[in-house]
Amino acid sequence: MIRRLARALCLVPCLAPGVSVAADPVDPVAASRLSDELFMLATDTQDALLMIAAAKLRKQARVPRIERRPERDGDLPSGDLPGPREWQDMLAAALALDPDDAVMVGLARDVRAASVRGVASGRVESRAQIRAGGRDTYQPLVFSGGAWADVYVEGAGRADLDLFVRDGAGRMVCSDTDASAIAYCGWRVDTSDSFAVEVLNAGRVATTYRLMTN
């Protein structure tokens, strides 16, 4: 079933260069989360088609990037660090499995050529590096009352990132402490408030991560 869905995702509408990847803007947070999970499954099963589907979703998740400077509890890690996978990385991994598969080569070519509509979701992302055991805190991030708030964090590969969100009074609103490279918090804001977002690197290696909010 998953592979049939992946084939449908790859073939529609990536049939001609220059067409839009999606008829309507997708939810960038949902697309980012699904693309990472799909790529991990594709890696475990060595499935090039799933990798291409993941790449297409990742390309759809593009949002404007802004500069954020978190408060840190220590020095930045040094040297080049692995970062979240880009859609180009996913395509490269798919083609590396079987570079002579004409079908996969064609699907990858179509994903590269497809354009992406501007995202009207209001979401933005930033990139930062974090040391092993480090904490980054972003505050204040203002969310409007009555609206749904999204905070999404994604590190590299097998990184272990945790996410905590507190309101202006310091009360915990949401947390995600699963042992994975991605963390997500979503909640409905009762009244407009400033929130503190904390990213914890619970792993043993430094990493680069993306932080997406609406």
Per-residue pLDDT band for 10 (boundaries 50, 70, 90) equals: low
Measured over the CA atoms of residue 25, residue 29, residue 33 and residue 36, the dihedral's sign is positive
- DSSP code, position 140: E
Q: What is the pLDDT of residues 122-175, one digit of tens each?
A: 789 999 999 989 999 998 899 988 889 999 999 987 789 999 999 999 999 999
Q: What is the pLDDT of residues 43-90, one digit of tens each?
A: 999 999 999 999 999 998 888 899 998 998 877 766 778 888 899 999
CATH 2.60.120.380 residue ranges in the chain?
124-213
Rounded to 5 degrees, what are φ and ψ at 94?
-65, -45
Q: Per CATH, is 124-213 categorized as 2.60.120.380?
A: yes
Give me 64's structure tokens: 């404007």
Q: Measured between alpha carbons, how far is 168 from 195 in angstroms, rounded to an integer?
A: 6
Q: What is the pLDDT of residues 101-123, one digit of tens each?
A: 999 999 999 999 987 654 445 78
